[in-house]
């Protein structure tokens, strides 16, 4: 069995003393450590267990036009290195220290590791917008308070706390392994009745259902768990993030949405929940080009816009282009009588003609792709009958 280590990572040409201190704290707590240098600017301060050259795979040092290019290249090399170590069963956790450059270098490699692997990043930028660094992963960000520039009364305390937090995560790991019936589901407020009904039916038959809020990161977080092999099936009922991706809303799906799902081979049921809307912030933040559209003010911070005919064509093509790459059969469920609570008779987004364009375009672009089986259901998405049909079709896939 391979020995397991916490990988302590930093740019040792500038942060060597501080990184050695973190490693010493970990070793004093009984943790095996590998100190990894990802410096790009000079000789390390101290002796790393893994040199920057080894991280690069002993490739010759390239001449980069800028420090940013060098940092980006080292970040890619670190990602490859950590994934190789993780695949070999040697990674028990990862702790990084750095300023803005070091944080931008180290966190992408952390994000590439499976959900559940302990990850701590001590950073000078951890008190601001951490979304570019954390994204939909489980990185723990700790603000360094002072710059990571020498050991002093503050940095010793903060770095020591970070090291001991990592030691605790490693020494007291939680044994939470996905069972044979752990499912991912996407939900929005306007599709809650459907998702709740599906979830309750599946829970009655022994399934554990993890629900993800479809706010851009929600869908990607679910797919990250698919890649981490923590889910055994997916009911992607609420694909509203695609509307924001296509039109320019605030909850975009991201260009890689659906890729991990269709490559996984897991039982997959997909529907069109809340594709009748695009999300914006407060009403005054809606771009001027949409001033003549139909809106619904959800609350002071969320304004919803009804998708139009051309947007529905684009959304259908966007989805079809990606899901028809599926490696195993899947069902695409179309609720013919409405896509959300706002798309129902008497509600502001009810427009069967525009929905029909979405449905026809999707079917047209999936024609000939037998693995993508389109199922029309003469129900509203929040009708109990539609939820029952979703469960029925999921069970068909799961029984294969």
For residue 108, which of 162, 148, 71 has the smallest C-alpha distance?
Answer: 71
Q: Please give the structure tokens belonging to residue 230.
A: 């923590």
Parts of the chain belonging to CATH 3.40.50.12020: 5-171
Q: State residue 4's pLDDT score.
A: 94
Q: State residue 33's pLDDT score.
A: 97
Would you say the C-alpha torsion 8, 9, 10, 12 has a positive or negative sign? positive
| Parts of the chain with a pLDDT under 50 | none
pLDDT tens figures, 92-135: 999 999 999 899 999 999 999 988 999 999 999 999 899 899 99
Please tell me the pTM assigned to this model: 0.80
The burial of 206, by beta-carbon neighbours within 10 Å (0-12 exposed, 13-18 middle, 19 or more buried), is given as: exposed
Which H/E stretch holds residue 110?
helix 100-111
Q: State residue 176's pLDDT score.
A: 67
**Class for domain 5-171, per CATH?**
alpha beta
Phi, psi of 114, deg, nearest 5: -60, 145
Q: Please give the structure tokens belonging to residue 353.
A: 């003609």
Q: How many C-beta atoms lie closer than 10 Å to residue 378's C-beta?
A: 12
- Please identify which residue in the block is written with the tokens 């939900």: 187
Parts of the chain belonging to CATH 3.40.50.12030: 182-398
Give the domain 182-398 fold: Rossmann fold (3.40.50)
């Amino acid at each position: 069995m391979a020995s397991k280590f916490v990988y302590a990572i930093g740019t040792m040409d500038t942060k060597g003393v501080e990184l050695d201190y973190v490693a010493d704290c970990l070793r004093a707590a009984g943790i095996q450590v590998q100190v990894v240098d990802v410096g790009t600017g000079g000789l390390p301060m101290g002796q790393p267990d893994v040199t920057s050259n080894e991280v690069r795979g002993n490739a010759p040092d390239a001449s980069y036009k800028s420090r940013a290019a060098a940092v980006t290249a080292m970040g890619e090399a670190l990602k490859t290195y950590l994934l190789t170590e993780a695949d070999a069963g040697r990674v028990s956790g990862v702790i990084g220290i750095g300023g803005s450059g070091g944080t931008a270098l180290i966190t992408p490699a952390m994000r590439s590791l499976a959900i559940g692997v302990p990850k701590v990043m001590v950073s000078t930028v951890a008190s601001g917008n951490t979304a570019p660094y954390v994204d939909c992963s489980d990185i723990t960000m700790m603000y360094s308070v002072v710059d990571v520039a020498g050991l002093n009364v503050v940095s010793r305390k903060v770095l020591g706390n970070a090291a001991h937090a990592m030691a605790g995560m490693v020494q007291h790991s939680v044994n939470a392994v996905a069972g044979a019936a752990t499912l991912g589901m996407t939900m929005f407020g306007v599709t809650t009745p459907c998702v709740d009904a599906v979830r309750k039916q599946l829970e009655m038959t022994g399934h554990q259902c993890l629900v993800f809020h479809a706010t851009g990161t929600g869908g990607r977080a679910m797919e990250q768990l698919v890649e981490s092999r923590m889910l055994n099936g997916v009911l992607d009922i609420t694909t509203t993030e695609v509307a924001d991706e296509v039109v320019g809303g605030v909850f975009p799906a991201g260009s890689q949405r659906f890729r991990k799902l269709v490559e996984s081979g897991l039982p997959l049921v997909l529907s069109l929940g809340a594709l009748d809307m695009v999300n914006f912030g407060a009403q005054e933040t809606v771009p001027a080009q949409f001033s003549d559209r139909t809106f619904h003010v959800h609350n002071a911070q969320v304004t919803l816009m009804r998708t139009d005919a051309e947007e529905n064509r684009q959304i259908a093509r966007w989805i079809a282009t990606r899901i028809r790459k599926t490696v195993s059969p899947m069902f695409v469920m179309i609720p013919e009588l409405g896509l959300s609570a706002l798309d129902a008779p008497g509600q502001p987004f009810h427009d069967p003609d525009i929905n029909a364009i979405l449905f026809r375009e999707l079917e047209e672009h999936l024609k000939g792709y037998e693995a993508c089986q389109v199922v029309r259901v003469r129900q509203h998405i929040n009708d109990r009958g539609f939820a029952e049909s979703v469960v029925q079709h999921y069970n068909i896939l799961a029984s294969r």
